[in-house]
Structure 1
């Protein structure tokens, strides 16, 4: 099977009308434990003319042993990058879609702190729903694009940068609570994770509204 290679076709077109493209993509949306993370990667016209980093793909298509290396190349290639977070407690409180928006707003705020002006950009959001505007972001131009993380190199960069950051966090949390084997499953609903929840219950890092309410179907 041929693996799709991201390109810069859309970014170059958007940069004819906008000073910057900020690509955003989430990781951890479907996990039972840990935060959700949104990566943001900035591309300007000069960067869009540079060669796409070797091996850059949607993070789901990059083998785990190579992700950190690819993420480092992606971070060096883009003009700037950031990762925003929303905790499991926030997901329980406001729901996953609003939490994604919150994490996105935090990623954009981090970029702003490093000199990027999001209002000067067009935000290229992976997916078909603008959860950034829905979360209360004002003054931003957001364009959802289905499969942007597969087809657009900037979104692939955001994806792999966020994935490596979240995996590293889940590995750290594994050291605190090894029973759930988060170093391996990264908080997703793997058989070993479900079995650990049955045996030990949920932790403070679990999304209680998912792990308890959905227990009959998940476990």
Structure 2
């Protein structure tokens, strides 16, 4: 069965409605038990060129293909950024507030003047607006279910964020190899839970997400 290909149809409607930019927004790492949550942004305008060939929601792509597409997505978008919230922050404020924190940090990294952003629409994947409560300046946020599948700006954001976070997890694996982060990317595989049971949890783990009493590793 053919995989749905994202388009710029929704973005075009938002531009027609007066948005100067559409800022595609997606998160990755929400369900992991280790590592940060990442929020990616990719900005497009009404004159944006044809999206990179093969661009899809990051979940529909192999790791190799994501690595190939990420620099193309960055080059295609007018601006892009990734913001993070750490495992410690997730434990402290909860995942929803941490998503907002990561999104706010990503917006702060965009090299777009504030006036332009205030004339734009953030197109957020999903049905819940977790971003607006974190913002000190009110911005237009439009949620859309399956936007990472259907909207090119959001698909690009998902790829950029996924590759950024995956590289962080691989780097963490190189420093602390016992937990398999290079392959599981911090998600709760059986081998990952077995490693925690044997070695204890690290400061890179979301300790409030682990079941039962877990010792803290010295690493």
Q: Where in structure 2 are the equivalents of 1:59-98 lying within 5 Å?
A: 59-98=58-97
Match in the other structure for 1:202: 201
1:120 deviates by 2.0
Match in the other structure for 1:154: 153
TM-score, normalised to structure 1, is: 0.93
Match in the other structure for 1:27: 28
Please list the CA deviations of residues 122-166 of structure 1 after superposition, one character each: whole Å capped at 9, or x if unmatched.
000001111111224422000111110000000000000000000
CA distance in 1, matches of 2:68, 2:135: 35
Bigger helix share = 1
CA distance in 1, matches of 2:162, 2:213: 25
TM-score, normalised to structure 2, is: 0.93
Match in the other structure for 1:167: 166
Q: Are the counterparts in 2 of residues 58 and 159 from structure 1 also a CA contact under 8 Å?
A: yes
Answering whether residue 128 of structure 2 is matched by residue 129 of structure 1, we say yes
1:98 deviates by 0.4
* 1:214–1:121 CA distance, 2 compared to 1 (3 A): farther
CA distance in 1, matches of 2:70, 2:91: 29
RMSD across aligned positions (CA): 1.3
User: Which ranges of structure 1 fall in alignment gaps of 5 or more residues?
Assistant: none
Instruction: Give the 3-state SS of the residue equivalent to 1:57 in structure 2.
Output: coil
CA distance in 2, matches of 1:38, 1:214: 30
Answering whether residue 139 of structure 2 is matched by residue 140 of structure 1, we say yes
User: Which ranges of structure 2 fall in alignment gaps of 5 or more residues?
Assistant: 215-219
CA distance in 1, matches of 2:146, 2:158: 11
* 1:211–1:90 CA distance, 2 compared to 1 (3 A): same
Q: Are the counterparts in 2 of residues 170 and 187 from structure 1 also a CA contact under 8 Å?
A: yes
Answering whether residue 10 of structure 2 is matched by residue 10 of structure 1, we say yes
Q: Are the counterparts in 2 of residues 105 and 137 from structure 1 also a CA contact under 8 Å?
A: no
CA distance in 1, matches of 2:137, 2:75: 29
CA distance in 2, matches of 1:190, 1:156: 26
Please list the CA deviations of residues 27-60 of structure 1 after superposition, one character each: whole Å capped at 9, or x if unmatched.
000000000000001001111xx21211100000
Please list the CA deviations of residues 99-118 of structure 1 after superposition, one character each: whole Å capped at 9, or x if unmatched.
0000000000101xx23432
CA distance in 2, matches of 1:214, 1:22: 42
The total of aligned residue pairs comes to 211
Please list the CA deviations of residues 72-117 of structure 1 after superposition, one character each: whole Å capped at 9, or x if unmatched.
1111111000000000000000000000000000000101xx2343
Please say which of residues 172-181 and 205-214 is displaced more in the overlay.
Answer: 205-214
